[in-house]
Amino acid sequence: MDRFAAVERALRNAAPDLLLDVVTGALREEYGVERVELRLADYGLTALQMVEEVPFTTEAVFIHDSPQGRAFGAQEPRVESRSADGTATVHLPVTVRGDRMGVLSVTIPAARFELAHMPEMQRVCEALGHEILVAERDTDLYVLARRAVRLTLAAEMQWQLLPGRSVSRPEFQLGAQLEPAYAIYGDNFDWSVSSSHLTLTVTNGMGEGMEAALLTNLVVNALRNARRAGLDLAGQASLADQAVYAQYRGELHASVLLLRFDLATGEVEAVDAGSPRMWRYRGRTVESVDFDAQLPLGMFEETVYVAERLRLEPGDRILVSSDGVYESVSKAGERYGERALARSLSAHRLLPAAQVPQAVLRDLGEYRGALPLEDDALVVCLDWFGR
């Protein structure tokens, strides 16, 4: 049995809260490492926090100003040599199907360090990431490492709904981010990938606090139920519309943009049921993609929805945002979506899709200056490669 297979088998047999202990023991035995640390990215994507039995006892490191953060951002191993104590530390990204989770830092005697071991160690990190996703059903250890401060109850509910923050396939790369990360209310995103299609929904629930969180939970689960029942995109919108109206009788409603991408052809079906909006970056041009506006979900009984179509070309970049982004105003009173959003999308054209939402939200913060964020801000970015 090769070394990777031994580590992978040990991980599969480990208790959910002992994955790091198993990885440490296996790496020590197979590669001679001295120390192993696992840090996970927090909800705000600003820091990498240690996974440890007593949470928050080790100081976090910033993603944008640390060797660990550079490995996380570049999604490539980073080696630190320490000649004084004769060791080398390798920071390895922990990523599963494009979802960037954190960084595993391995300290090893320089005499035993070999670059040839890096691919094997990276495979160990991928196996660890898969096991963390499974283990989170049974332990809070890894969830606690993702929060820098306490979440509001509404934010807790919203983060538990999300499929992840990024995903990669040969046909596309997708990334998304919500702000304020620890106090979000009604904004949400969801996706599902099959062998032939990617379905993406962006939701903006009406109201604030728990009211908005409960409404969005109903919408997201109604859309999932309809999708899993085999309904087409318009049918998914109609079923979710009926569910929301039955619960709130028109007093509350939710704005949703539903998108369904054909992975083979790049054809996109869209149902625009409210405020989330879409921009396309093609070549060097950013343009707003406008659909026929249809009623938000739950506003009236038995609303009929119609899907529209467009086609993506390889190299296209799509950005979807909630009104908390494009309706935000500067101190001069100009809306972010008028010109600044397009400038931000152009400025970050070289970043991978997984990093664009955070970059756009940083630009939004600078654009607003001292003005507080009065609404949830959601950004989703998709790079289309095609087949």
Q: Which amino acid is at 295?
A: L
The size of the chain, in residues, is 387
Please give the single-letter amino acid code of residue 334: E
215, 161 contact by CB (below 8 A): no
Neighbours of 224 (CB within 10 A): 17
Residue range 58-102, pLDDT digits in tens? 999 999 989 999 999 999 999 987 767 788 899 999 999 999 999
User: What is the three-class DSSP state of 32?
Assistant: coil
- In order of 167, 193, 235, 279, the CA distances from 290 in angstroms are 25, 25, 21, 8
- At 244 the pLDDT is 97
SS3 182: coil
The residue whose two tokens read 């990215």 is: 41
Q: Which residue has the higher pLDDT, 368 or 348?
A: 348
Please say if the pLDDT value at position 221 is more than 80. yes
Taking residue 61's Cβ as centre, other Cβ atoms within 10 Å add up to 18
Tens of pLDDT, residues 276-306 = 999 999 998 999 999 999 999 999 998 999 9
Sign of CA dihedral 333, 339, 343, 344: positive
What is the arithmetic mean of pLDDT over 177-197?
94
pLDDT tens readout for residues 265-279: 999 999 999 989 999
| Cα separation, 256 vs 233, whole angstroms | 12
Task: Say whether 227 sits in a helix, a strand or coil.
Answer: helix
More confident residue, 247 or 9: 247
289 close to 321: Cβ distance less than 8 angstroms: no
- What does the alpha-carbon distance between residue 22 and residue 366 come to, in Å, rounded to a whole number? 44
- pLDDT > 70 in the chain, percent: 99
pLDDT class of 237 with cuts at 50, 70, 90: very high
Give dist(CA 25, CA 186) in Å, integer.
Answer: 43
Q: If you search the block for the tokens 């991978």, which residue do you land on?
A: 352
The mean pLDDT value of the chain amounts to 93
Q: How high is the pLDDT of residue 83?
A: 64
Q: pTM value? A: 0.93
Instruction: Flag the least confident range among 117-126, 152-161, 316-325, 344-353.
Output: 117-126
What's the mean pLDDT in 228-244?
97
Residue 1 has pLDDT above 70, yes or no: no
The predicted structure's pLDDT at residue 334: 93
